[in-house]
Amino acid sequence: MIYGYARVSTQEQTITPQMNALNEFGCNQIFSDKVSGSQITREGLNKMKSKLKKGDKVIVWKLDRLARSMKDLIDLISWFENRGVAFESITEKIDTSNAGGKLIFHLFGALAEFEKELIKERTLAGLAAARKAGRCGGRPKSLSEEDKKKIDIMIEGGYSKSNIAKTFKISRSTLYRFLEEQ
């Protein structure tokens, strides 16, 4: 059985060109969604997946209609592959039912993994450089050193913790954390 899958991200987009291409390609049944590809729950995709059997084929007009990220695409194609379901993208001319298509798809997967590792390395290098320059991530401190000295004086003067917190526009829990640190 040949199944088609079409998706548009917004209600304003038209799904007609995808449907026409999938019909011309000879799909026996076409499933569709009008939802962002980043959405985890896509009813049409889930219905199609529930019908797939070994020997079936899934056709899409373009790769980005099936998934929004390379990771999601690889996960879906691997899911198909594990169940003996072939995959084909009309526009990119990738067909996992033959050796060449499988090779191209696995190259995409390797490139995606490489890109993910590069991003991770750059992020870690950036964080290390920031720490070396004396910057640390996270939210800025609510209280300056001068504020802390004023709080100590107010506590010694008998001010209530609620009034101190209101004066410095901080929560009482922030004030209590400050007091515990001393």
* CATH code for position 40: 3.40.50.1390
Any domain includes 128: no
Same structural domain for residues 11 and 83? yes
Any domain includes 37: yes
Any domain includes 46: yes
pLDDT by 10s per residue, the chain, length 182 = 999 999 998 777 889 999 999 999 999 999 999 887 566 678 999 999 999 999 999 999 998 888 877 788 888 888 999 999 999 999 888 899 888 888 888 887 788 778 888 899 999 998 888 888 888 777 777 788 888 889 889 988 999 999 999 998 889 888 888 888 77
Helix crossing, 172-181 with 145-156: angle to 10°? 90
Any domain includes 27: yes
For position 42, what pLDDT does the model report?
Answer: 86
Any domain includes 39: yes
Same structural domain for residues 9 and 69? yes
Q: What are the structure tokens assigned to 25, written together?
A: 């390609």
Torsion over CA of 58, 64, 67 and 71, rounded to 10 degrees? 110
Number of H helices, E strands in the chain: 8, 5
Any domain includes 106: no
Q: Which of 9, 36, 97, 144 is catalytic?
A: 9
CB 63 within 8 A of CB 37: no
For position 180, what pLDDT does the model report?
Answer: 85
Same structural domain for residues 85 and 11? yes
pTM value is 0.61
Report helix, strand or coil for 93: coil
Same structural domain for residues 76 and 150? no
CB 18 within 8 A of CB 34: no
Q: In the annotation, is 162 catalytic?
A: no
Q: What are the structure tokens assigned to 132, written together?
A: 């070396």
* Domain range for 77: 2-94
Any domain includes 20: yes
d(CA 157, CA 61) in angstroms, rounded, equals 74
- For the chain, how many structural domains are there in total? 2
Last residue of a domain, one of 73, 94, 115: 94
Any domain includes 77: yes
